[in-house]
Amino acid sequence: MARARHILLTGLPGCGKTTVAMAALALLRESGVATFGFWTQEIREGGERRGFALELVSGGRDVLASVDLVAPRVGKYGVNVEAMQRLVVPEIERAIAAARTGARAVIVMDEIGKMELFSRSFQQVVVSALDSPAWVLATVMLRPHPFADSLKARSDVQVVTVTAENRSGLAERILEQLLAEV
């Protein structure tokens, strides 16, 4: 893997981006690096996907999207933009503050996608994180999107396309790269 300050994982849905990011998060935690961030998980009822939960590395949790929410919408899901602003934005701000004190801090974000990008304050804090002393590991949507594309085009970002062929051992390679930097 080439050296870059931040790593964005992209790829087709179901390729393993989240699996790689969560494995890297576990390895980072084991190594003693201060970790911050969030991930999403499916909410299933009776075998049917009903939405997505938002979980913070620090332990907070809320509904990100649900078939029961009204607007804004991505497909059949209404998005809880307030949860991004109330939970995720402060989590990332804490990481930035910790990194500014000299702490080795990595922010893991799963994901920077359509639902999350409804929050303008999330977009702003993502840019602040990339501009801060913290390191960022995030999954990002593959499909074109002006904000996501601007992140992928940054000179301090390495974009890694996750595939079935390269995902084995990718978390370990990410850990090595980040630990060489932090």
Q: For residue 104, is it within any domain? A: yes
For the chain, the domain total comes to 1
Q: For residue 65, is it within any domain? A: no
> Residue 181 in contact with residue 32, Cβ under 8 Å?
no
User: Range of 150's domain?
Assistant: 6-38+81-181
Q: Is 126 helix (H, G, I), strand (E, B) or coil?
A: helix
Q: What is the pLDDT of residues 71-98, one digit of tens each?
A: 899 999 999 999 999 999 999 999 999 9
CATH number of the domain enclosing 28:
3.40.50.300
Task: Please report, rounded to a whole number, the percentage of residues in the chain having pLDDT higher than 90.
Answer: 90
Answer yes or no: is pLDDT of 136 > 60: yes
Q: For residue 73, is it within any domain? A: no
Give dist(CA 20, CA 36) in Å, integer: 16
What pLDDT, on the 0 to 100 scale, is given for residue 100? 95
The neighbour count for residue 176, using CB atoms within 10 Å, is 12
The pLDDT confidence band at residue 2, using thresholds 50, 70 and 90, is low
Report CA dihedral (182, 28, 37, 130) to the nearest 10 degrees: 20
pTM: 0.94
Per the DSSP assignment, residues forming a β-bridge with 40 are: 54
First to last CA, the chain: 16
Please tell me whether the peptide bond between 144 and the residue prior to it is cis, using omega within 30 degrees of 0. Answer: no
What pLDDT, on the 0 to 100 scale, is given for residue 5? 84
Q: For residue 96, is it within any domain? A: yes
Q: For residue 152, is it within any domain? A: yes
Cα dihedral 32, 42, 92, 156 sign: positive
Averaged pLDDT, 45-61 = 95
Token pair of 95, please?
A: 């990481």
The pLDDT confidence band at residue 178, using thresholds 50, 70 and 90, is confident
The owner of tokens 């390729």 is 15
Q: Is 24 helix (H, G, I), strand (E, B) or coil?
A: helix
What pLDDT, on the 0 to 100 scale, is given for residue 3? 63
Averaged pLDDT, 53-78 = 95
Please tell me whether the peptide bond between 176 and the residue prior to it is cis, using omega within 30 degrees of 0. Answer: no
Averaged pLDDT, 146-158 = 97
Q: For residue 55, is it within any domain? A: no
Q: For residue 49, is it within any domain? A: no
Closest CA to 8 of 139, 115, 167, 154: 139
Give dist(CA 53, CA 32) in Å, integer: 26
Q: For residue 53, is it within any domain? A: no
